Structure 1
């Protein structure tokens, strides 16, 4: 990386976590998966909501920004809460239950799964994006409008 920096080339290293697309036709998409789960972990995690974060990344490239940053929407949200918002706006038949942090099962999941909340201060100073909750409400509302 120093070679590129010394020669005036920018490099942007973005870290994403739990990329979420709104394309429900894609079976491997995070949203497509979690709306089918019967139980979801209720602990806040950082999400990379792709429409928001890809636009931010393109803006950063146009600005010729470089460096490392966490490319995630601010304000972590639990996957359970994501599906609750989806249920309220898009499909009321979706009905998962929450796996609380205090349960034995949750303790096992905490020990074996990566559940992280990344800092978004640098991203917000360079290319602000909506919070995870605001973004989901916006995009789910657009999905509903497009379906009508």
Structure 2
């Protein structure tokens, strides 16, 4: 009853529904400790929904609690902050004579940076060299490649 009375009083005084609901929820939580057990999941669900609409996915409700302790954030290069589809800005550092071999190796790789290199080289009109026995080793790149005679 106290929370409902607070809600009506603040709604009448401020004419702001959001403020009145916040005050009523605060009074309910303070006067009834069991309401805290109901309020926390509701807040986590609401916050997760808002973050999802802004493009952030929260996999676990405790992630929001742990977020308060974060002092450093590190992102990887394969799509955490980007679409994971990099584009080359220039082919200048790559010699013309090396481009066919680079294209052949890039086309044999599934790495996003290799795909970007391959797309840029194809767009530049490069024809791939004939390379056989290309093996991609995760974390080490493409190795054991031999050029066909």
TM-score of the two chains, using structure 2 as the length reference: 0.28
Bigger RCO of structures 1 and 2 (CA < 8 A, at least 6 apart): 1
Structure with higher helix content:
2
TM-score of the two chains, using structure 1 as the length reference: 0.28
Structure number with greater Rg is: 2
Structure with higher strand content:
1
